[in-house]
C-alpha cells in the first residue's frame, strides 16, 4: 500500500498535462475510438473500414479480458484512490467508479491483452506495442482511478485471458484473417489516423 500511495501521489503532478489528456483518451473503451488506441504502436490504421476483422477482434477480446477481472473485483471490493485522496480524475463520472472495485484493473487487462494479440500479429512492432500496453495501464494510475497494484494484477489477468483465447478455434481463425488483413493494409502503405509524433512525445513524460 505504501508503494501504491507513493506512485499515486507522484502521478497527480501530471494533471492537466498532455499525458493527462492521453490518459483521458485511454479511459474511453467505446468503439470506434478505442480501436485506434494502438494504431501508432502498430504503425497502421485500425478501423471498421480499413481493418474490419481486426476491429472486431479487438472488440471481442475487450469483453473477454475486461470481464475476466470481475470475479476478483467483486470479491475484494477494493477502494479506489479517488475515494481516498479526493483528487480529480480524468474519467467523466466518478460516482459509478466509487462503487466498483479497484482491484484488479479491467482497463489494464484489456490494454495488455491487446498489446499481446497485436504483437503476435506484427512481431516486428513488439517493442512499441508492449510499451504502449504498459503505458495504457499506467494511464489508469495517472487518471487517479486505480492503484499501481491494480494495474499490475490487471496485466496478469490480461495475459491469462489471451492464453485462454489461444485454445479457442474461433479466436485463432479470426486472428489469422486479421493478420492477413493487416498485411494488406501495410502493402497499401496506409498510416495511422492519430498524431503519432505527439503521442510518442507525450508517452515519454514521467512524473
Q: Check if 180 is active-site.
A: no
Q: Check if 166 is active-site.
A: no
Q: What's the number of domains the chain is made of?
A: 1
| Options 4, 140, 155, 174, the catalytic residue | 140
Cβ contacts of 101 within 8 Å, gap of 6 or more? 72, 73, 74, 76, 77, 78
Chain centroid offset of residue 186 CA: 23
Cell 475515494 sits on residue: 83
| Options 26, 150, 155, 174, the catalytic residue | 150
Tell me the average pLDDT across 4-16.
Answer: 94
Note whether residue 39 is domain-resident.
Answer: no
Q: Which CATH number characterizes residue 72's domain?
A: 1.20.144.10
Tell me the average pLDDT across 39-54.
Answer: 96
pLDDT digits (tens, 9 = 90+) for 159-203: 999 999 999 999 999 999 999 999 999 999 999 989 999 999 999
| CA trace torsion 53, 113, 121, 143 (10° rounding) | 90
Tell me the average pLDDT across 68-75.
Answer: 96
pLDDT digits (tens, 9 = 90+) for 51-64: 999 999 999 999 99
pLDDT value of residue 207: 65
Note whether residue 16 is domain-resident.
Answer: no
Q: What is the overall mean pLDDT for the chain?
A: 95
| Options 80, 146, 155, 174, the catalytic residue | 146
Helices (H), 12-147: 18-27, 39-42, 52-67, 70-76, 81-85, 95-99, 106-121, 126-142
Note whether residue 124 is domain-resident.
Answer: yes
pLDDT digits (tens, 9 = 90+) for 103-119: 999 999 999 999 999 99
Q: Check if 194 is active-site.
A: no
| Options 19, 80, 107, 155, the catalytic residue | 107
Residue 96 in this model has a pLDDT that exceeds 90: no
- With beta carbons less than 8 A apart as the criterion, state whether 53 and 195 touch: no
Note whether residue 26 is domain-resident.
Answer: no
Note whether residue 86 is domain-resident.
Answer: yes
Note whether residue 17 is domain-resident.
Answer: no
pLDDT value of residue 5: 96
What percent of the chain has pLDDT above 70? Answer: 99
Note whether residue 176 is domain-resident.
Answer: yes
pLDDT value of residue 4: 97
Q: Check if 125 is active-site.
A: no
Q: How many CB atoms lie within 10 A of CB 95?
A: 7
Amino acid at each position: 500500500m505504501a508503494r501504491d500511495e507513493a506512485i499515486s501521489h507522484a502521478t497527480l503532478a501530471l494533471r492537466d498535462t498532455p499525458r493527462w489528456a492521453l490518459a483521458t483518451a485511454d479511459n474511453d473503451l467505446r468503439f470506434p475510438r478505442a480501436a485506434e488506441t494502438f494504431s501508432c504502436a502498430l504503425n497502421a490504421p485500425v478501423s471498421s473500414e480499413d481493418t474490419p476483422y481486426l476491429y472486431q477482434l479487438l472488440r471481442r477480446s475487450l469483453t473477454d479480458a475486461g470481464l475476466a477481472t470481475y470475479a476478483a473485483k467483486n470479491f475484494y471490493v477494493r477502494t479506489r484512490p479517488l475515494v481516498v485522496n479526493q483528487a480529480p480524475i480524468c474519467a467523466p463520472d466518478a460516482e459509478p467508479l466509487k462503487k466498483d472495485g479497484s482491484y484488479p484493473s479491467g482497463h489494464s487487462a484489456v490494454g495488455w491483452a491487446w498489446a499481446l494479440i497485436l504483437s503476435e500479429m506484427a512481431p516486428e512492432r513488439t517493442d512499441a506495442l508492449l510499451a504502449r500496453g504498459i503505458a495504457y495501464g499506467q494511464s489508469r494510475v495517472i487518471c487517479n482511478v486505480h492503484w499501481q497494484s491494480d494495474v499490475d494484477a490487471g496485466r496478469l489477468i490480461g495475459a491469462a485471458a489471451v492464453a485462454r483465447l489461444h485454445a479457442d478455434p474461433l479466436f485463432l481463425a479470426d486472428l489469422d484473417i486479421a493478420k492477413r488483413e493487416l498485411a494488406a493494409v501495410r502493402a497499401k502503405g496506409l498510416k495511422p489516423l492519430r498524431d503519432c509524433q505527439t503521442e510518442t512525445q507525450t508517452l515519454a513524460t514521467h512524473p
